[in-house]
């Protein structure tokens, strides 16, 4: 029996009981029933990887199966690619869908024609085989479709997967790194279901949380220091992640890898496309203890993605403006060789400052009248238009200014950047590390600095866009060429 069959039977057994136990006066929709088992995507290693994207179905709810997409036979999502910095890898991506797709390696520093953006289209039945050297530091990255105007839909169906980069510096630290045991991938998203159990793709905010594709997920974690690699794979919603008991955890990594030192936090906000690595100390917990990871999304205001009060319609959700459960942790016995202390020092790196900058530019996000259509500086994405040209090796400061009503999750390909300023004057404590995606709240701006080294092309552009996939598909994307140094 597969894990998913097991959790399905489990869900059936407990479906009756959970209807009464989940509802409380204060939180009718947000309290999960915890009848699912967190699925751990299989990890694949080596230097040649094969990925095949196909239609699938998944038993998510009683009744009809839900139509999904999955890689390599998965009924939602795909395997985790575990790669080593320095390795030359090739990934053979076969498109078994009846429509075109692309597969983008989010966060990796690779040539534009290997990047899997909107230009590297894989037609049905075809295999695309990009190859590149892994240059990123150890960290948590991901792959997902990037076909213009189809990204939201294909990702919503479940086409995606994680990429874990490992390197010598990370390996030298006393960190939890046994995948699926004390090093746990956690991909957060949500869906609304139609009456016949299909994903409602008109909803930008789901009503039901999916953790690694599982509803009401529980995870058995050992009584020791445990690492969570969390990805927000939503359409729009941000998550203010913390534990129900308010415990402090340690942020050890951001989009581009490990921080210089752990940053303590009781909650961290993750916008769409961002990743975070945290250490949670379970070493003092008795076996059998239950902890709940939650999203503290209540009271954030309408500009917070998922903070609006409406519960129905395109921007409404049963999870809006409330605290809701993400994962229930059941503490089990510690493993042999358990990590029981959080390292004081991680991987210090020299970050860019404004003093390094050789060129600066500003992108202003414009909102159209109905509040649903966004552009960078009035230009909707066009495949044949180059919006920015960067000189190879330039160290640039980019300022992204959001419009008055909506925040955006700004993402740029090719580089990892350092956030140097927010218009509010305050950077979040966990944002000091390498980033490729940053939330720009409504009415505010963010400035980051990056160097555009190594890869240049007079013809193949990289993308920048809002990672809220409905905004991206709606045209809030641009492309830049890195012009070869003379
Ligand atoms: Cu996660 Cu342009 O993508
Ligand atoms: Cu946006």
Residue 466 CB–ligand 1 contact under 6 Å: no
Architecture of the CATH domain 354-483 = Sandwich (2.60)
Q: How many angstroms separate the CA atoms of 427 and 408, rounded?
A: 16
| 137-157 tens-digit pLDDT | 999 999 999 999 999 999 999
Ligand nearest to the CA of 375: 2
pLDDT of the residue at 21: 32
Radius of gyration of the chain (CA): 21
> What is the model's pLDDT at position 485?
83
**What per-residue string of b and e applies to 143-154 under the rule 16 or more CB within 10 Å gives b?**
bbbbbbebbbbb
Residues of the chain with CATH 2.60.40.420: 8-36+173-332, 43-167, 354-483
| Cβ–ligand 1 contact at 463 (below 6 Å) | yes
Q: What pLDDT does 209 receive?
A: 98
Predicted TM-score of the model (pTM)? 0.93
Does the CB atom of residue 112 touch ligand 1 within 6 A?
Answer: no
Res 430: pLDDT: 86
Report how far residue 351's alpha carbon sits from residue 324's, in angstroms, rounded to the nearest whole number: 36
Whole-number average pLDDT of the chain? 93
- pLDDT for the residue 6: 35
CA of 289 from ligand 2 middle (Å) equals 39
Q: Is a pLDDT exceeding 70 seen at residue 208?
A: yes
pLDDT at site 372: 66
Cα of 366 from ligand 2 centre, angstroms: 10
Q: How far is the CA of 287 from the centre of ligand 2 (A)?
A: 43
**pLDDT at residue 5 tops 50:** no
Cβ–ligand 1 distance for 146 under 6 Å, the answer: yes
Question: Could you report the per-residue pLDDT of 7-58, keeping only the tens digit for each?
Answer: 333 333 333 333 333 323 334 445 666 689 999 999 999 999 999 999 999 9
Does the C-beta of 471 come closer than 6 Å to ligand 1? Answer: no
Looking at the CA of 411, name the nearest ligand. 1
Write the class of the CATH domain 8-36+173-332: mainly beta
Distance 156 CA to ligand 1 centre (A): 14
Q: Whose CA is nearest to atom 1 of ligand 1?
A: 106
How confident is residue 338, by pLDDT bands cut at 50, 70 and 90?
very high
Q: Which residues contact 66 (CB under 8 A, 6 or more apart)?
A: 57, 58, 59, 60, 193, 197, 198, 199
Q: Is the pLDDT of residue 1 over 50?
A: no
Pocket flag, ligand 1, residue 118 (CB < 6 Å): no
pLDDT digits (tens, 9 = 90+) for 425-476: 999 988 999 999 999 999 999 999 999 999 999 999 999 999 999 999 999 9
Check pLDDT > 50 for residue 86: yes
Distance CA 465, CA 380 (A): 11
Range among 31-45, 206-220, 364-378 with highest mean pLDDT value: 206-220
List the one residue out of 157, 86, 161 whose CA is nearest residue 116: 161
- Note the pLDDT of residue 25: 30
Q: Is the pLDDT of residue 99 over 90?
A: yes
Q: Quick: pLDDT tens for 177-205.
A: 999 999 999 999 999 999 999 999 999 99
Strands (E), 244-306: 249-254, 257-265, 267-270, 275-281, 290-296
Cβ–Cβ < 8 Å for 199, 66: yes
pLDDT score recorded for residue 369: 66
Q: Candidates 3.30.70.420, 3.30.360.10, 3.40.50.720, 2.60.40.420; correct CATH number of 43-167? A: 2.60.40.420
Residue nearest to atom 3 of ligand 1 (CA): 106
Residue 144 near ligand 1, beta carbon < 6 Å: yes
| Number of H-type helices and E-type strands within the chain | 4, 32
**Which pLDDT does position 15 carry in this prediction?**
33
Order the strands of the 395-401 sheet from edge to edge.
374-376, 359-367, 395-401, 445-451, 418-422
Q: Judging by DSSP bridges, how do beta strands 395-401 and 267-270 pair with one another?
A: unpaired
Check: CB of residue 366 under 8 Å from CB of residue 378. yes
pLDDT for 313-332, tens place per residue?
988 999 999 999 999 999 99
What is the per-residue pLDDT for 106? 99
The pLDDT of residue 32 is: 66
Position 371 scores a pLDDT of 56
CA of 412 to the centre of ligand 1 (A): 7
* Strand order from edge to edge, sheet including 290-296: 36-37, 217-222, 323-332, 290-296, 239-243, 267-270
């Amino acid at each position: 029996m597969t894990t998913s069959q097991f959790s399905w039977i489990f869900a059936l057994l407990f479906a009756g009981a959970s209807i009464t136990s989940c509802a409380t006066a204060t939180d009718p929709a947000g309290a999960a029933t915890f009848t699912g088992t967190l699925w751990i995507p299989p990890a694949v290693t080596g230097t040649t990887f094969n990925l095949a994207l196909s239609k699938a179905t998944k038993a998510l709810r009683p009744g009809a199966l839900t139509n999904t997409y999955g890689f390599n036979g998965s009924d939602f999502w795909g395997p985790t690619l575990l790669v080593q910095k320095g390795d030359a890898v090739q990934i053979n991506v076969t498109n078994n869908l009846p429509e075109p797709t692309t597969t983008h390696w989010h966060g990796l520093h690779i040539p534009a024609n290997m990047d899997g953006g909107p230009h590297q289209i894989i037609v049905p039945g075809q295999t695309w085989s990009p190859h590149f050297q892994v240059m990123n530091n150890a960290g948590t990255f991901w792959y997902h479709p990037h076909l213009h105007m189809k990204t939201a839909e294909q990702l919503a169906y479940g086409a995606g997967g994680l990429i874990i980069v490992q390197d010598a510096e990370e390996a030298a630290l006393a960190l939890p790194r046994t995948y699926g045991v004390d090093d746990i991938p956690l991909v957060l998203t949500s869906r609304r279901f139609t009456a016949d159990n299909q994903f409602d793709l008109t909803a930008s905010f789901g009503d039901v949380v999916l953790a690694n594709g599982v509803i009401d997920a529980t995870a058995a974690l050992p009584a020791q220091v445990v690492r969570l690699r969390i990805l927000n794979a939503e359409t729009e919603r941000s998550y203010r992640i913390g534990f129900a008991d308010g415990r402090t955890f340690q942020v050890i990594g951001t989009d581009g890898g490990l921080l210089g030192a752990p940053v303590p936090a009781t909650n961290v906000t993750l916008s769409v496309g961002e990743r975070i690595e945290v250490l949670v100390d379970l070493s003092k917990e008795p076996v059998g203890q239950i902890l709940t990871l939650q999203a503290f999304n209540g009271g954030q205001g309408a500009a917070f993605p998922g903070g609006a009060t409406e519960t129905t319609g395109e921007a409404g959700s049963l999870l809006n403006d409330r605290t809701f459960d993400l994962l229930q942790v059941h503490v089990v016995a510690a493993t042999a060789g358990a990590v029981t202390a959080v390292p004081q020092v991680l991987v210090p790196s020299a970050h860019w400052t404004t003093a390094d900058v050789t060129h600066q530019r500003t992108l202003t996000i414009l909102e159209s009248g109905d509040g649903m259509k966004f552009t960078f500086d009035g230009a909707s994405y066009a495949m044949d238009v180059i919006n920015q040209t960067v000189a190879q090796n330039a160290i640039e400061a980019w300022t992204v200014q959001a419009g008055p009503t909506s925040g955006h999750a700004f993402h740029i390909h090719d580089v990892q950047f350092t956030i140097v300023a927010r218009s509010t004057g305050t950077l979040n404590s966990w944002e000091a590390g390498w980033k490729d995606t940053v939330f720009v709240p409504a009415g505010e701006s963010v400035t980051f600095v990056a160097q555009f080294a190594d890869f240049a092309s007079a013809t193949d552009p990289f993308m920048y866009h809002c990672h809220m996939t409905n905004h991206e598909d709606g045209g809030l994307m641009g492309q830049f060429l890195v012009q070869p140094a003379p």
